[in-house]
């Protein structure tokens, strides 16, 4: 009664100038002081002082509920300012178990902030949550459900699932909604266990309250992403709901600025897009409604309502995901155009995003808007620019490549983020490779990129360019390497235009050597990578250069070698280039001598090596042309891998008594054979056959066998002296010499013992054994027997047996079961006492509800049994159990009284308004 | 889905933070710093979205306060903005022309309101009326609740 009264009240009734103040004056003072702090240090000091005080206070034995909630509030404040208050998290839990709703709220709020899902404390929370889920008070249920969503873990789901499922049918929409939200949280954590209840929340789609449906859609959105096939049959109802919303049949309070329930519309569109993906049949069912929604959302554009834009944007997204329909795609591209042409940056951004998706399925979409898109690159907004770059990558083709790359480079110059730059450069290079139509343009572009961003480029590009220039278009057919595939296309594209004066290959070389010779002559601190390419090209093709004479190039190179801004690697390449130029042209410069002198003593061995090479080559003017012939990169050098020219030498040495060469493989083979032979010999001499002993009695445990065999071996060794010769000669074991106590089933002396033992087990006798292993088994049996005798209750026996089997494998769930089942135990205990304790309760133990009740005696006994069987590990758990049990007992004590008290209080409060209890 | 919501003033001081996924304390401080500095550095004419790592930040400025939410990249940006606006409108109705001080001194109430608007990273209710009703109900109970005790530290 009290609840319905509250729901009828309007919120304005509560808007009171004298709002309730949770904060005491003392606390307010603290907040003010912290507000006045000038530095973080001051603030920290204040809070630390506060925490020390609070810590002292928490150690008091009796804290009144009032004080407790105040304490929790202050701790919350400290936590918010980034301090550790983990010592008092338990207070929040205690506070959540208070009967007074106000304290309970504070407790839950603090607990949900304090407790992250990794902590054990959440297990303690479960108790009070379970209690509150069953409460008659809507508010208590509501806050419990809210807390569940924050602290639940997979292990805890079974404990509350049944309660939440019941709450799905609660009369209050608020509770249904929160229960569904809790279900959603479960679904995310363990989809399998929740999907069993899919029918339950399918019903929620038809709920009277549309907001409940809205929450239910969250669950379906999740399922549609992961397992779309399982809910294809629901497409019809989703479409129906969407139609219902557009037609404006919802209560007016769900309108958000003239748009009908935009959030729910968006959720539905998302679900439909997942369901219709790659599925022509489902898509066809969806087309019509999407078109309607798109049309309807245009109102937003007229009135400038963001929610309308949002729906429109979602429609475009959906259309791109659905099985393509030309009509819808056209509509979508028109809508995207509206976004792009708008003045707001937000909408522009969304337009670009939409086009980026749309272009993949509908390339014509961007045709009309190219200029606007490129303009976006000049906008000061970074986010917008990055998105635009993304789009440009997708719309680049042969016709617009040069324009787009230019724009991108100018954008790149403004960038500061190194990581982003690097990725962008490599992407631009790739783009140029893919879509470039003109090889000259390609080389120029690469140079431009290298000039500015040479440090960010992968060194593979150097090799690519060298190969491109040297092999040119004439050799394209011979290129087999994958990397060069893209370049082949390019070359074939420009071939026709270049075959005017020279053949294409030479023209390209002349063109490139002119460019690179110029780069060298500029003497600017360009990145090394660019100089390396330039030097190589200049060295190879200097004689083709038309803009510079070879001497000029040589002088420039000499200057470059002396420049401070190039690396040793580049310098070494420059020296080689110089050598090549000298050998090709036959001209010599005096500066070369100084270079050789200067760098022959360089610290870098590579430079030194090359200097000496150059010196050596220059001293042999006769053969200089043979060492470095012009344009030699494409001439294959034949290598005689068989070294036939040495045949004569080998024959001579063989004649003179040398050994014949044996190849490595043959040698390894021979070595292996040798070793195998040795091993086999060893085996033959030492191997023993155990076959006769392997057909042992299966009842025998494995622990039995090991000592037997050891003993056996030892004995055999002792006897070996007499038997060696026989064993070596015959492969099978001769048993005749060995004492007859050894039988096929093992040592007969032990065997008797063992048999006895098995008999003991069967008869449950009390004979004791000397063997260690047996003693353990025996203990087990004895324990079981004792329990059997002492205890008439079958349940308990089952329990223990089960424990015996499972041991501590499932400690966590077990502990948690105990906590979870605390509440029902109280009730069931009484009932069962009334009935009869001796009833057979052989129910399934694993489920919580059906779990047989335990008296305290039983629990104690179980603990001791556990400790006996499982050793230290289980002792620890049993301690934990007892701890949690204590807490439970406390809470039990509270719950009995509080639920009743609580209800009384609330009713009093509400009926009398301002009266205090 | 929303991963976290932050409220900070112009100076970058955090006024409210709510996390819908588990982060360690270290991660939280790091994320806060990054996100806030990112948002504060943007000019007013820029759009309200930032693509950041694998997430998307949607922010909006109201007077001296920045409201920031971090969500999936595939989420609808505009509706994210509307969620912020929705929350602000409710705060405004609840406090009566809300200002930064209201949130500083009544942070618990602000959290309460937020809990009614967003649960588990999802918008809970799009109706202002029903949210204010349930928040109001809580206040009503509190109005009649016993006062909190002083600790006399």
What residues pair up with A746 in beta bridges, in sequence order?
Answer: A743
Q: Who among A69, A177, A345 is closest to B47 (CB)?
A: A345
What confidence tier does A814 reach under pLDDT thresholds 50, 70, 90? very low
Contacts of residue B140 in chain A, CB cutoff 8 Å? 6, 9, 13-14
pLDDT over 90 for what percent of chain A?
A: 0
A354 CA: distance to closest CA in chain B (Å): 11
Q: Look up the ipTM and state it.
A: 0.75
| Whole-angstrom distance, CA of residue A271 vs CA of residue A223 | 9
Instruction: Give the mean pLDDT of A885-908.
Output: 49
What confidence tier does A764 reach under pLDDT thresholds 50, 70, 90? very low
**pLDDT tens digits, one per residue of A108-141:** 888 887 776 556 777 778 888 888 888 888 888 8
What residues pair up with B5 in beta bridges, in sequence order?
Answer: B18, B69
Tell whether the model's pLDDT for residue A357 goes beyond 60: yes
Residue B12 lies in a domain: yes
Tell whether the model's pLDDT for residue A16 goes beyond 50: no
Q: Which comes out higher in pLDDT, residue B14 or A837?
A: B14
What confidence tier does B70 reach under pLDDT thresholds 50, 70, 90? very high
CB contact under 8 A, B120 and A314: no
Chain A residue at shortest CA distance from B60: A346
Contacts of residue A53 in chain B, CB cutoff 8 Å? 153
Tell whether the model's pLDDT for residue A888 goes beyond 70: no
Tell whether the model's pLDDT for residue A708 goes beyond 70: no
Tell me the DSSP string of A745-774: TEEHHHHHHHHHHHHHHHHT-----S-HHH
Q: Other C-beta atoms within 10 Å of A55: how many?
A: 13
Residue B147 lies in a domain: no
Mean pLDDT computed over every residue of chain A:
70
**pLDDT for residue A878:** 42
| Whole-angstrom distance, CA of residue A39 vs CA of residue A48 | 14
Q: What is the DSSP letter of A656?
A: T
B24 CA: distance to closest CA in chain A (Å): 9
| Whole-angstrom distance, CA of residue A610 vs CA of residue A621 | 18
Contacts of residue A263 in chain B, CB cutoff 8 Å? 79, 123, 126
A314 close to B (CB below 8 A): yes
Q: What is the DSSP letter of A234?
A: G
CB contact under 8 A, A53 and B123: no
Phi, psi dihedrals of residue B72, rounded to the nearest 5°: -65, 155
A119-123, A430-434, B64-68, range with greatest mean pLDDT: B64-68
What confidence tier does B67 reach under pLDDT thresholds 50, 70, 90? very high
CB contact under 8 A, A346 and B145: no
Report angle CA B77, B125, A227 to the nearest 5 degrees: 65
Contacts of residue B129 in chain A, CB cutoff 8 Å? 11, 253
Residue A46 token pair: 């204040």
B132 close to A (CB below 8 A): yes
Instruction: Give the mean pLDDT of B10-17.
Output: 88
Phi, psi dihedrals of residue A457, rounded to the nearest 5°: -95, 145
Cβ under 8 Å to A: B residues 54-113: 76-79, 81-82, 85-86, 93-94, 96, 104-105, 107-108, 111-112
Instruction: Give the mean pLDDT of B57-74.
Output: 89
Report angle CA B72, B74, B75 to the nearest 5 degrees: 70
In the three-class reduction of DSSP (H, G, I as helix; E, B as strand; rest coil), residue B146 is classed as coil
| Range with the poorest average pLDDT among A275-279, A411-415, B127-131 | A411-415
B37 close to A (CB below 8 A): no
User: Which residue has 């990169």 as its token pair?
Assistant: A633
Tell me the DSSP string of A482-516: GGGHHHHHHHHHHHHHH-SSS-HHHHHHHHHHHHH
B67 CA: distance to closest CA in chain A (Å): 16
Residue B149 lies in a domain: no
Residues 6+ away with beta carbon under 8 Å from A125: A93, A96, A111, A115, A147, A151
Residues 6+ away with beta carbon under 8 Å from A495: A473, A504
Residue A741 token pair: 């106590």
Tell whether the model's pLDDT for residue A490 goes beyond 50: no
CB contact under 8 A, B105 and A174: no
Secondary structure, 3-state, A330-397? HHHHHHHHHHHCCCCHHHHHHHHHHHHHHHHHCHHHHHHHHHHHHHHCCCCCHHHHHHHHHHHHHHCC
**pLDDT for residue A501:** 41
In the three-class reduction of DSSP (H, G, I as helix; E, B as strand; rest coil), residue B151 is classed as coil
**pLDDT tens digits, one per residue of B105-127:** 888 888 888 888 887 788 877 78
Q: Which comes out higher in pLDDT, residue B72 or A540?
A: B72
Tell whether the model's pLDDT for residue B72 goes beyond 80: yes
In the three-class reduction of DSSP (H, G, I as helix; E, B as strand; rest coil), residue B65 is classed as strand
A450-454, A476-480, A602-606, A804-808, range with greatest mean pLDDT: A602-606
Tabulate helix, strand, coil % of chain B (nearest 5): 45, 25, 30
Q: What is the DSSP letter of A454?
A: G
**pLDDT for residue B142:** 67
Instruction: Give the mean pLDDT of A351-361.
Output: 85
Residue A711 token pair: 């003993």
**Backbone region of residue B120 per phi and psi (left: phi > 0; alpha: psi in -120 to 50; beta: other values):** left
CATH of the domain at B56: 3.30.450.60
**pLDDT for residue A324:** 84
User: Which residue has 């909408």 as its token pair?
Assistant: A347
Tell whether the model's pLDDT for residue A166 goes beyond 60: yes
Residue A414 token pair: 């403004």
Instruction: Give the mean pLDDT of A67-76.
Output: 83
Cβ under 8 Å to B: A residues 338-397: 344-346, 348-350, 380-384, 386-387
Q: With beta carbons less than 8 A apart as the criterion, state whether B85 and B68 touch.
A: no
A109-118, A677-686, A711-720, range with greatest mean pLDDT: A109-118
Contacts of residue A24 in chain B, CB cutoff 8 Å? 147-148, 150
Crossing angle of helices A101-114/B107-117, nearest 10°? 80
B43 close to A (CB below 8 A): yes
CB contact under 8 A, A253 and B137: no
What confidence tier does B98 reach under pLDDT thresholds 50, 70, 90? confident
CA A140 to chain centre: 37
Indicate the number of domains in chain B. Answer: 1
Rounded alpha-carbon distances, angstroms, from residue A888 to A796, A893, A899: 22, 8, 16
What confidence tier does A205 reach under pLDDT thresholds 50, 70, 90? confident
| Domain of residue B101, residue span | 2-141
**pLDDT for residue A895:** 46
What residues pair up with A277 in beta bridges, in sequence order?
Answer: A322
| Whole-angstrom distance, CA of residue A570 vs CA of residue A521 | 16
Contacts of residue B124 in chain A, CB cutoff 8 Å? 177, 181, 215
Instruction: Give the mean pLDDT of A479-504.
Output: 41
**pLDDT tens digits, one per residue of A272-329:** 888 888 888 888 888 888 888 888 887 766 666 778 888 888 888 888 888 888 888 8
Contacts of residue A177 in chain B, CB cutoff 8 Å? 124-125
Residue B35 lies in a domain: yes
Residue B132 lies in a domain: yes
A57-71, A665-679, B26-40, range with greatest mean pLDDT: B26-40
**pLDDT for residue A901:** 55
**pLDDT for residue A682:** 64
What confidence tier does A890 reach under pLDDT thresholds 50, 70, 90? very low
Residue B151 lies in a domain: no
Contacts of residue A211 in chain B, CB cutoff 8 Å? 125-127, 130
Residue A552 token pair: 């000029």
What residues pair up with A859 in beta bridges, in sequence order?
Answer: none
Q: How many Cα atoms sit within 13 Å of A339 on the Cβ side?
A: 33
Contacts of residue A73 in chain B, CB cutoff 8 Å? 108, 148
Q: With beta carbons less than 8 A apart as the criterion, state whether A242 and A286 touch.
A: no
Residue B148 lies in a domain: no
A909 close to B (CB below 8 A): yes
Q: What is the dihedral of CA A25, A26, A29, A35, to 10 degrees?
A: -110
Phi, psi dihedrals of residue A256, rounded to the nearest 5°: -115, 105
User: Which residue has 């025998």 as its token pair?
Assistant: A700
**pLDDT for residue B149:** 53
Q: Which comes out higher in pLDDT, residue A586 or A313?
A: A313
Residue A228 token pair: 């779309």
pTM of the model as a whole? 0.58
Residue A721 token pair: 């002296």
Residue B117 lies in a domain: yes
Q: Which comes out higher in pLDDT, residue A830 or A238?
A: A238
| Range with the poorest average pLDDT among A276-290, A452-466, A728-742 | A728-742
A806 CA: distance to closest CA in chain B (Å): 33
């Amino acid at each position: 009664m009290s609840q319905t009264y509250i729901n009828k009240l309007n919120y304005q009734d509560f808007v009171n100038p004298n709002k309730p103040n949770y904060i005491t004056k003392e606390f307010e003072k603290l907040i003010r002081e912290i507000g006045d702090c000038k530095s973080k240090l001051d603030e920290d000091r204040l809070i630390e002082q506060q925490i020390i005080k609070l810590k002292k206070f928490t150690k008091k034995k009796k804290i009144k509920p009032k004080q407790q909630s105040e304490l929790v509030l202050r701790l919350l404040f400290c936590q918010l300012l980034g301090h550790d208050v983990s010592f008092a998290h338990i207070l929040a839990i205690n506070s959540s178990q208070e009967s007074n709703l106000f304290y309970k709220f504070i407790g839950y709020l603090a607990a949900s902030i304090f407790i992250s899902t990794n902590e054990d404390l959440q297990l303690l929370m479960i108790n009070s949550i379970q209690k509150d889920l069953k409460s008659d008070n809507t508010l208590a249920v509501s806050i419990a459900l809210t807390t569940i969503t924050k602290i639940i873990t997979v292990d805890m789901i079974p404990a509350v699932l049944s309660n939440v499922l019941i709450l799905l049918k609660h009369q209050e929409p608020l509770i249904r909604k929160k229960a569904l939200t809790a279900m959603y949280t479960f679904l995310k954590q363990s989809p399998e266990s929740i999907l069993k209840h899919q029918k339950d929340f399918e019903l929620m789609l038809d709920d009277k309250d549309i907001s409940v449906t809205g929450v239910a859609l969250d669950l379906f959105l999740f399922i549609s992403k992961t397992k779309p096939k399982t809910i294809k049959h629901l497409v019809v109802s989703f479409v129906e709901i969407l139609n219902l919303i557009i037609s404006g049949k919802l209560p007016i309070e769900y309108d958000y600025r003239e748009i009908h329930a935009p959030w729910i519309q968006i959720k539905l569109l998302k679900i439909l897009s997942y369901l219709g993906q790659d599925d022509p049949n489902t898509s066809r069912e969806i087309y019509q409604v999407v078109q309607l929604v798109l049309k309807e959302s245009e109102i937003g554009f007229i009135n400038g309502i963001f929610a309308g834009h949002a729906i429109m944007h979602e429609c475009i997204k959906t259309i791109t995901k659905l099985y393509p329909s030309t009509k819808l795609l056209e509509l979508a591209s028109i809508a995207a155009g509206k976004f792009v042409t708008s003045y707001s940056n937000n909408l522009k951004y969304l337009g670009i995003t939409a086009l980026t998706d749309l272009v993949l399925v509908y390339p014509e979409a961007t045709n009309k808007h190219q200029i606007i898109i490129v303009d976006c690159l000049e906008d000061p907004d970074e986010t917008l620019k990055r998105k635009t770059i993304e789009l440009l990558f997708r719309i680049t083709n042969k016709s617009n490549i040069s324009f787009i790359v230019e724009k991108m480079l100018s954008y790149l110059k403004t960038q500061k983020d190194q990581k982003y730059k690097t990725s962008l450069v490599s992407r631009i290079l790739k783009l140029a490779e893919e879509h470039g139509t003109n090889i000259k343009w390609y080389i120029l572009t690469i140079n431009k990129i290298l000039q500015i961003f040479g440090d960010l480029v992968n060194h593979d590009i150097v090799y690519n360019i060298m190969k491109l220039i040297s092999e040119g278009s004439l050799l394209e057919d011979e290129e087999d390497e994958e990397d060069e595939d893209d370049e082949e296309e390019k070359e074939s594209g420009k071939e026709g235009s270049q075959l005017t004066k020279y053949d294409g290959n030479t023209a390209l070389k002349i063109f490139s050597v002119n460019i690179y010779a110029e780069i060298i002559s500029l003497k600017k601190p360009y990145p090394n990578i660019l100089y390396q390419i330039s030097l190589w090209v200049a060295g190879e093709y200097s004689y083709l250069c038309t803009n510079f004479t070879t001497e000029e190039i040589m002088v420039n190179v000499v200057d470059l070698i002396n420049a401070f801004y190039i690396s040793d690697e580049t310098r070494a390449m420059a020296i080689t280039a110089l050598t090549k130029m000298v050998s090709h042209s036959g001209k010599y410069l005096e500066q070369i001598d100084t270079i050789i002198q200067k760098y022959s003593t360089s610290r870098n061995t590579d430079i030194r090596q090359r200097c000496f090479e150059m010196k050596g080559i220059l001293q042999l003017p006769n053969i200089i042309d043979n060492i470095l012939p012009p344009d030699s990169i494409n001439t294959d050098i034949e290598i005689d891998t068989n070294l036939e020219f040495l045949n004569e030498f080998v024959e001579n040495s063989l004649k003179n008594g040398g050994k014949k060469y044996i190849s490595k493989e043959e040698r390894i083979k021979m070595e292996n054979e040798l070793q195998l032979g040795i091993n086999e010999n060893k085996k033959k001499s030492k191997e023993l056959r155990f076959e006769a002993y392997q057909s042992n009695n299966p009842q025998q445990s494995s622990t039995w066998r090991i000592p037997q065999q050891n003993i056996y071996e030892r004995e055999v060794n002792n006897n070996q002296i007499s038997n060696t010769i026989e064993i070596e000669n015959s492969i099978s074991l001769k048993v005749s010499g060995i004492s007859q106590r050894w039988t096929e089933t093992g040592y007969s002396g032990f065997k008797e013992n063992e048999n006895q033992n098995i008999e003991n087990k069967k008869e449950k006798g009390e004979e004791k054994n000397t063997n260690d292993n047996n003693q353990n088994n025996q203990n087990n049996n004895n324990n079981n027997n004792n329990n059997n005798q002492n205890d008439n209750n079958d349940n308990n026996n089952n329990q223990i047996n089960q424990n015996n089997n499972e041991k501590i494998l499932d400690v966590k769930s077990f502990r948690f079961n105990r906590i979870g089942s605390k509440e029902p135990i109280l009730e069931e205990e009484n009932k069962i006492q009334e009935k009869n304790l001796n009833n057979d309760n052989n129910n399934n133990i694993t489920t919580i509800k059906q779990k047989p009740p335990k008296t305290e005696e039983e629990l104690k006994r179980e603990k001791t049994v556990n400790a006996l069987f499982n050793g230290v590990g289980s002792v620890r758990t049993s301690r934990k159990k007892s701890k949690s049990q204590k807490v439970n007992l406390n809470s039990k004590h509270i719950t009995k009284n509080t639920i009743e008290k609580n209800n009384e209080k609330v009713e009093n409060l509400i009926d009398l308004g301002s009266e205090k209890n | 889905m929303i991963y976290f919501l932050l409220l900070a003033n112009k100076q970058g001081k955090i006024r409210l933070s709510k996390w819908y996924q588990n982060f360690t304390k270290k991660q939280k401080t790091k994320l806060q710093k990054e996100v806030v500095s990112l948002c504060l550095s943007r000019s007013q004419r820029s759009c309200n979205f930032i693509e950041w790592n694998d997430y998307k930040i949607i922010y909006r400025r109201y007077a001296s306060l920045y409201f920031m939410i971090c969500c999936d990249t595939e989420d609808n940006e505009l509706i994210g903005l509307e969620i912020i606006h929705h929350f602000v409108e409710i705060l405004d109705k609840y406090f009566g022309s809300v200002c930064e001080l209201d949130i500083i001194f009544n942070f618990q109430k602000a959290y309460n309101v937020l809990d009614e608007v967003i649960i588990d990273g999802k918008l809970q209710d799009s109706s202002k009326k029903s949210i204010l009703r349930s928040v109001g109900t809580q206040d009503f109970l509190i109005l009649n609740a016993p006062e909190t005790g002083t600790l006399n530290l």
